[in-house]
Chains A and B, each alone.
Chain A
């Protein structure tokens, strides 16, 4: 009898106890799932932010490299056209410059480098060679400002987490990167 009583005490779950346990477990699991989903969203948003910043940095560095050595620059809304010296010969080695009208000239015709967006990607095109600098950048915005002897470039993107989602421009301000590059060859003359 003692054994029987003991067994009954161990295995004796009432319906109320089971329902309460199930309810508490449900709340905990729901919280866990919601929390996990939030962490995941946060992780991907952070990842997007970091990747976007890396792409920003890459585009800036590419553009600044060409702008520094530019002979002339033209800017449109989201297109940058840079003309650089024809520094390399057909064998890929640097040419010797020649003095023409008081300036040092490499080759005969300057090379043209373009930066532009096509679809959701941003490209650098030098001659016929096109390089994809950034992909999935539909939320990126490029802007150029010609300051005469220097060019200002800004790149912004829309972050995944937005506290004021309806005001995209104000959100962009938080992700804006600016760079002002002195056109070294503008000092010619």
Chain B
């Protein structure tokens, strides 16, 4: 009996021994699997935090766009306090008054990683982010936060944790205690205003270039490699003289287009001399040009029907309100600046037509920045507008007109740009048929420098259009664009 008992005991011990070995092997395997499983979920949360941070940038840019298209609702639910609990709502302020904050709604989702994420956004508009044309840029700091599932345990190797930082008990940026583990990622983006002149020729409906000797090219007055002393140099020309339409037709007329030709799902006819891409994915939002509120300076004329001199001044622009500008013979309208070329500003609103004929001309003084808003038709022939400055110094805007339900103008205005002296300026008139009358491509004095936006854009005769790439930073603000993106990994 004793001998039999000893044998049974050995079997039990052996069974326990092997069971223990199997259990240990299972436990090690389970530990490895669990660590990797947790790492996968934590990594997914870390990636979700980036999505949340980028969503925060989009939310901020959306508020900036509201300033243009829905100003009454811009920055409405934002706070001046970083703490979301201390919501001090601001209704008529923007980041230029100081940093503003917003915490997004919580996004719920299912799948790998955390199930809740949100973004905390701060926007400011510091003075060092004002560009040379006086436009304010914005700095956006967006913190994406994603909850991390699976308990307060960090998974992964040291190098993994140096890359993917998780906060289990304390927020590493604020020092605040946390009730749940989280992954956070911080992005700093710089957003700049985009002007109305993003392409050389833009016709909301069509573009018609009807001569193969027409040239459209570009230069950059900011860059010595792409211009000489800030002016166009044919030896340094660049190929960003793009033409585009929101419509479906560009008649390129075999013109030499040193840039892209883009439609909105349409066709570019006679495009053999287009050096860039032929695209059909283009669309640019147009905004209505409303008549600015102008309080004319005292003792200024109400109409221009003969030779006249008006003044531009530093700082806030001089304001002029004219019924019409009608020059003929050798009559001249002179906009006089400081005389030494330092920047001066003037703004003219014309409620009627602008017409020039004979040897009449408008002279823009050196250093003068002139904006003209016109409600009637425009016929600039004669000696045209003499602008010795950059194209950005002369901006001609066609005011908004009644539209049909599809957004087209009920009666487009007419804007004819010609003259013996070429043209150096910009035109934004999406409710106008813009016609440019040429005077030859070889004479640089008779060329056209600038950018043109119209309901339709048509070029008649032989001429050259040289687009200054610096115009992208000028003109009325039409949109906002992220120009710098950096993830702060501290």
Within 8 A of B (CB), among A112-160: 131-133
Q: Name B's interface SS.
A: mixed
Chain B 450-490 interface 0/1 with A at a Cβ cutoff of 8 Å (1 = within)? 00000000000000000000101100000001111111111
Provide the bound-state CA to CA distance between A189 and B471, in Å.
Answer: 11
Contact call A103/B483, Cβ cutoff below 8 A: yes
Chain B residues within 8 Å of A50, by CB: 32, 36
In this complex, how many residues of chain B approach chain A with their Cβ under 8 Å: the count is 39
Contact call A184/B485, Cβ cutoff below 8 A: yes
What residues of chain B have their CB less than 8 Å away from a CB belonging to chain A?
Answer: 29, 32, 36, 39, 43, 46, 126, 128-132, 137, 139, 156-157, 159-160, 162-164, 188, 190, 192, 222-223, 470, 472-473, 481-490
Chain A 81-96 interface 0/1 with B at a Cβ cutoff of 8 Å (1 = within)? 0001101000010101
Chain B residues within 8 Å of A106, by CB: 484, 486
Q: How far is the CB of B483 from chain A (nearest CB, A)?
A: 5
Q: A94-B188, A99-B137 are in contact. Are A185 and B36 (CB under 8 A)?
A: no
Q: A99-B131, A101-B223 are in contact. Are A43 and B488 (CB under 8 A)?
A: no
Provide the bound-state CA to CA distance between A57 and B42, in Å.
Answer: 12
Provide the bound-state CA to CA distance between A47 and B29, in Å.
Answer: 10
Q: A68-B487, A96-B126 are in contact. Are A104 and B163 (CB under 8 A)?
A: no
Within 8 A of B (CB), among A159-189: 184-185, 187-189
Provide the bound-state CA to CA distance between A132 and B163, in Å.
Answer: 12
Looking at A1-9, A22-30, A58-66, A72-80, the stretch in contact with chain B turns out to be A58-66
Provide the bound-state CA to CA distance between A11 and B292, in Å.
Answer: 118
Chain A residues within 8 Å of B137, by CB: 99, 104
Residue A12 is within 8 A (CB to CB) of chain B in the complex = no
Interface range for A: 20 to 34
Least CB separation from B190: chain A residue: A104
Contact call B159/A97, Cβ cutoff below 8 A: no
Q: Enumerate the 10 nearest inter-chain pairs by beta-carbon distance, A residue then B residue, closest first.
A: A184-B485, A104-B190, A104-B484, A69-B486, A188-B483, A102-B473, A99-B131, A101-B222, A87-B486, A69-B487
Residue A98 is within 8 A (CB to CB) of chain B in the complex = yes
Q: How far is the CB of B479 from chain A (nearest CB, A)?
A: 13
Chain B residues within 8 Å of A104, by CB: 129, 137, 190, 192, 483-484
Q: Can you offer 13 A-B residue contacts whose CB atoms are under 8 A?
A: A47-B32, A57-B43, A65-B163, A65-B489, A87-B188, A96-B126, A99-B137, A101-B223, A102-B131, A102-B222, A104-B129, A185-B483, A187-B483
Q: How far is the CB of A98 from chain B (nearest CB, A)?
A: 6
Provide the bound-state CA to CA distance between A185 and B128, in Å.
Answer: 20
Residue A45 is within 8 A (CB to CB) of chain B in the complex = no
Provide the bound-state CA to CA distance between A132 and B162, in Å.
Answer: 12
Contact call B128/A85, Cβ cutoff below 8 A: no
In this complex, the member of B473, B481, B485, B490 whose beta carbon has the largest number of chain A beta carbons within 10 angstroms is B485
Q: How far is the CB of A175 from chain B (nearest CB, A)?
A: 16
Chain A residues within 8 Å of B473, by CB: 102
Q: How far is the CB of A45 from chain B (nearest CB, A)?
A: 13
Contact call B484/A185, Cβ cutoff below 8 A: yes
Q: A47-B32, A187-B481 are in contact. Are A54 and B156 (CB under 8 A)?
A: yes
Q: A97-B190, A188-B483, A189-B472 are in contact. Are A54 and B488 (CB under 8 A)?
A: no
Q: A61-B164, A97-B129, A99-B129 are in contact. Are A87 and B139 (CB under 8 A)?
A: no
Chain A residues within 8 Å of B223, by CB: 101
Q: How far is the CB of A25 from chain B (nearest CB, A)?
A: 14
Contact call A97/B484, Cβ cutoff below 8 A: yes
Chain B residues within 8 Å of A65, by CB: 163, 487, 489
Q: How far is the CB of B104 from chain A (nearest CB, A)?
A: 20
Provide the bound-state CA to CA distance between A87 and B36, in Å.
Answer: 33
Least CB separation from A69: chain B residue: B486
Contact call A54/B39, Cβ cutoff below 8 A: yes
Chain B residues within 8 Å of A92, by CB: 490
Chain A residues within 8 Å of B139, by CB: 97
Provide the bound-state CA to CA distance between A57 and B40, in Å.
Answer: 10
Contact call A54/B160, Cβ cutoff below 8 A: yes
Provide the bound-state CA to CA distance between A85 and B187, in Å.
Answer: 13
Provide the bound-state CA to CA distance between A175 and B355, in Å.
Answer: 72
List 14 additional A-B contacts (Cβ < 8 Å) besides A94-B188, A103-B483, A184-B482.
A50-B36, A54-B39, A54-B157, A58-B163, A61-B43, A65-B487, A69-B485, A84-B486, A85-B484, A102-B131, A131-B162, A187-B481, A187-B485, A188-B484
